[in-house]
Chains A and B, each alone.
Chain A
Amino acid sequence: AQTVTQSQPEMSVQEAETVTLSCTYDTSESDYYLFWYKQPPSRQMILVIRQEAYKQQNATENRFSVNFQKAAKSFSLKISDSQLGDAAMYFCAPGTSYGKLTFGQGTILTVHP
Chain B
Amino acid sequence: DTAVSQTPKYLVTQMGNDKSIKCEQNLGHDTMYWYKQDSKKFLKIMFSYNNKELIINETVPNRFSPKSPDKAHLNLHINSLELGDSAVYFCASSQETAYEQYFGPGTRLTVT
Contacts and interface: CB of A to CB of B under 8 A. Distances in A.
Contact residues on A (Cβ < 8 Å of other chain), bracket: 20 to 34
13 contacts: A31-B98, A44-B105, A47-B101, A50-B100, A98-B55, A99-B31, A99-B101, A100-B48, A101-B45, A101-B101, A103-B42, A105-B41, A106-B41
Interface in A58-105: 89, 91, 95-103, 105
Interface string B35-50: 0000001111100101
Contacts of B100: 35, 47, 50
A33 B98 contact: yes
Contact residues on B (Cβ < 8 Å of other chain), bracket: 20 to 34
Contact of B102 (A47, A89, A101): A47
Interface of B: 31, 33, 41-45, 48, 50, 55-56, 88, 90, 92, 94, 97-98, 100-103, 105-106
Contact of A99 (B41, B88, B94, B102): B94
Most buried by B among A45, A89, A105: A45
B35 to A, nearest CB: 8
B106 A99 contact: no
A99 B53 CA distance: 13
Interface of A: 31, 33, 35, 37, 39, 43-47, 50, 89, 91, 95-103, 105-106
Contact of B50 (A43, A46, A99): A99
Contact of B45 (A89, A97, A100): A100
Contacts of A95: 98
A53 to B, nearest CB: 11
B43 A91 contact: yes
Contacts of A106: 41
Contact of A43 (B33, B98, B106): B106
A20 B55 CA distance: 35
